[in-house]
Amino acid sequence: MSVISDQGSYVIPPQRAVWIPGGVYHEAHCRTAVSLRTLYVDESARPALPARCRVIAVPPLLRELILEATELPIEYRVDGRDNRIMELILDELCIVPDARLHVPMPQSKHLVRICSKILDDPARNDTLDELAAQAGCSRRTFTRTFRKETDMSFSSWRRHVRLLEATSRLAEGQPVTRVAFDVGYASQSAFTAMFHRVFGTTPTEYLSND
């Protein structure tokens, strides 16, 4: 599953979740059949709840708490076990780690247009000069504006987009070699090396932890 908002683009593999604060316009896309649970949280419930969209890990405890919460009545008792389950879910949401499965989006319309094309086809290999021309500016202006609005270089941004797309494809069960070529890598070894550099594990090991 993937989610796009004006804050960024997010990929949600199995056993992960996306946190979306109230009032954030977004769109969700499911590449295959997806089973999910949705929590609706009052933004005043905890001061420490994230203020921005993020993909989070779902540890075993939080997963079991969420599954248990789906079995509770909508109007549950606030002076007993049911309420303690909900309170513990909120506690867990405040401390779960960021899964680093997102890329920020720029604000300038011409950069958003280019980024949207790359999100649709991460294997695109347009050069910086070509992208700057498409954006109607110089290469220097393109790179400076992109870093200012995303806090990333364009090359790092595009590399992360490719890895996020790869993560989504791997979660579908697609072979590592096929995924590597489909997202723009020249070889499986180059893809695996970059995947390990960013996520600290190989593609196969990453999925085995789901």
Domain 105-208 sits in CATH at 1.10.10.60
pLDDT band at 51 (very low <50, low <70, confident <90, very high): confident
**So what's the pLDDT on residue 83?**
94
pLDDT at 210 over 60: no
User: Where does the chain hold its CATH 1.10.10.60 domain(s)?
Assistant: 105-208
| Strand 8-11 versus strand 26-29 pairing type | unpaired
Whole-angstrom distance, CA of residue 76 vs CA of residue 83: 7
pLDDT in tens, 118-160: 988 999 989 999 999 999 999 999 999 999 999 999 999 999 9
Q: For residue 9, what is the enclosing H or E element? A: strand 8-11
Nearest to 11 by CA among 77, 101, 135: 101
